[in-house]
Amino acid sequence: MKEYKKYFKLEASPADLYNALTNPVMIEIWTGEHAAMSTEPGSEFSLWDGEITGRNIEFVENFKIVQHWYFGDEEDSIVTIKLHPDKKGTNMEVHQTNIPDDAFDNMVDGWEEDYVGSLAELFD
């Protein structure tokens, strides 16, 4: 199992970014796919029309999101997103643990191109 951690600079306030990450209507706008999301700990979520699914663990408004991401029969992967204010927007810290070795490269590409890339386009 592998681990991924990276900081991404986005030109949006922590509040706007948090809304884009937790509001299902906003998620559908930047992903272009159906999303199910709630900020209720213990609730299930689905992004990219079911490509990413899991359970929400913790929310700290405008600062932190913690989720279990499912990988079939594998152990759950834990994803923590922290939003750090910056002069020109937000530094988004992404930390994901328990990534199956054979999924790691695809996961890194997904974070950098699909997830953060789509968010960056939303705020351009």
CATH number at residue 64: 3.30.530.20
Percent of the chain whose predicted confidence (pLDDT) is above 70: 97
What is the pTM (predicted TM-score) of this model?
0.94
With bands split at pLDDT 50, 70 and 90, how would you rate the model's confidence at 108? very high
Q: How many domains does one find in the chain? A: 1
User: Which secondary-structure segment (H or E) carries 24?
Assistant: helix 24-31
Mean pLDDT, to the nearest integer, of 103-108?
Answer: 93
> What was the pLDDT predicted at 71?
76
Q: Residue 27 carries which DSSP code?
A: H
* pLDDT exceeds 70 at position 111: yes
Higher pLDDT, 51 or 74: 51
Provide the residue range defining the domain that includes 97. Answer: 2-123
DSSP tag of 115:
I
Mean pLDDT of the 68-79 span: 81
In this prediction, residue 100 has a pLDDT band, given cuts at 50, 70 and 90, of confident
**What burial class does residue 25 get, using C-beta atoms within 10 Å of its C-beta: 0-12 exposed, 13-18 middle, 19+ buried?**
exposed
Confidence band for 47, pLDDT divided at 50, 70 and 90: very high
pLDDT reading at 20 higher than 80: yes
CA 103 vs. chain centroid, Å, equals: 16
Phi-psi sector, 46: left (phi>0), alpha (psi -120 to 50), beta: beta
pLDDT band at 73; cut points 50, 70, 90: low
